[in-house]
């Protein structure tokens, strides 16, 4: 395991190590990719937790229920594996696949100003939530926003009118009073 990861601002979190699995040093992994086993397509991970950063190599992994079980190179003991719990699994942004026109990664949307049809600033996208029917944007108030309300907006074609990453803005069809 190496201690020379990619620069921190270039890293994207794609999962998190949970608990140990079995007695041979395997770990349970919660994937943030869709589908969840896409995380296994990346053989080199940068792990990050509480200021500690290290790089590891994935030897193998498998889907088991709603989590993944992963074997990391050099990690052969259950107690050693226990120390990896809570580490975020990151990869370099450049490793993400290119998306089609009009598709975005969540990290690209976070921080965008959200503007309603009247030109009012509703706030900034703080993060997104995955729900059963559609994703939801959590819009928190910011300097210059209409009010101090947090809003939950659906990430749907009906709500999202335009995304301008260069301007850092998203135009939405949303009533500020709702």
Report pLDDT digits (tens) over 3-48: 444 556 689 999 999 999 988 899 999 998 889 999 999 999 999 9
Instruction: Work out how many domains the chain is built from and give that number.
Output: 2
Q: Is the pLDDT of residue 141 over 70?
A: yes
115 & 65 share domain? no
Q: What is the 3 state secondary structure string of the chain?
A: CECCCCCHHHEEEEEEEEEEECCCCEEEEEECCCCHHHHHHCCEEEEEECCEEEEEEEEEEEEECCEEEEEECCCCCHHHHHCCCCCEEEEEHHHCCCCCCCCCCHHHHCCCEEECCCCCEEEEEEEEECCCCCCEEEEECCCCCCCCCCEEEECCCCCEEEEECCCCEEEECCCCCC
114 & 80 share domain? no
Closest C-alpha to 31, from 63, 79, 54, 71: 63
Q: What is the pLDDT of residue 178?
A: 84
Q: Is the pLDDT of residue 89 over 90?
A: yes
**Within a domain: 3:** no
pTM as predicted? 0.78
Q: Which domain holds residue 56?
A: 8-95
Binned at pLDDT 50, 70 and 90, residue 121 comes out as: very high
Helices (DSSP H) in the chain: which residue ranges? 78-82, 106-109
141 & 86 share domain? no
Q: What is the pLDDT of residue 66?
A: 82
Q: What is the pLDDT of residue 6?
A: 52
Q: Cβ distance 46 to 91 under 8 Å?
A: yes
Q: What is the pLDDT of residue 8?
A: 61
Report pLDDT digits (tens) over 102-119: 999 999 999 999 999 999
Please state the φ and ψ torsions of residue 163, each to the nearest 5 degrees.
Answer: -125, 125
Picking from 95, 122, 147, the residue at the C-terminal end of a domain is 95
Helix (H, G, I), strand (E, B), or coil: what is residue 177?
A: coil
Q: What is the pLDDT of residue 2?
A: 44
Q: Is the pLDDT of residue 173 over 90?
A: yes
State the Cα–Cα distance between residues 147 and 159, nearest whole angstrom.
Answer: 20
Report pLDDT digits (tens) over 48-81: 999 999 999 999 999 998 889 999 999 999 999 9
Helix (DSSP H) and strand (DSSP E) numbers for the chain: 2, 12
Q: What is the pLDDT of residue 132?
A: 79
State the Cα–Cα distance between residues 152 and 145, nearest whole angstrom.
Answer: 15
Picking from 95, 119, 138, the residue at the C-terminal end of a domain is 95
Q: Cβ distance 145 to 157 under 8 Å?
A: no
């Amino acid at each position: 395991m190496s201690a020379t990861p990619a620069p921190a601002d270039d890293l994207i979190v794609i999962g998190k190590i949970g608990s140990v699995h079995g007695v041979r040093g395997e770990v349970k992994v919660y994937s943030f990719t869709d589908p969840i086993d896409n995380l296994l397509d990346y053989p080199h991970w940068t792990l990050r937790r509480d200021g500690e950063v290290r790089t590891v190599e994935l030897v193998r992994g498998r889907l088991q229920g709603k989590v993944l079980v992963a074997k990391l190179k050099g990690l052969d003991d259950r107690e050693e594996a226990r120390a990896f719990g809570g580490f975020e699994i990151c990869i370099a942004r450049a490793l993400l696949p290119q998306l089609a026109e009009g598709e975005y990664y969540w990290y690209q949307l976070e921080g965008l100003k959200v503007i309603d049809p009247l030109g009012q600033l509703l706030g900034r996208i703080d993060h997104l939530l995955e729900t059963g029917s559609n994703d939801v944007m959590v819009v928190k108030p910011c300097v210059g926003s209409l009010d101090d309300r947090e809003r939950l907006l659906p990430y749907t074609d009906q709500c999202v009118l335009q995304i301008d990453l260069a301007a850092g803005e998203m135009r939405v069809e949303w009533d500020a009073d709702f």
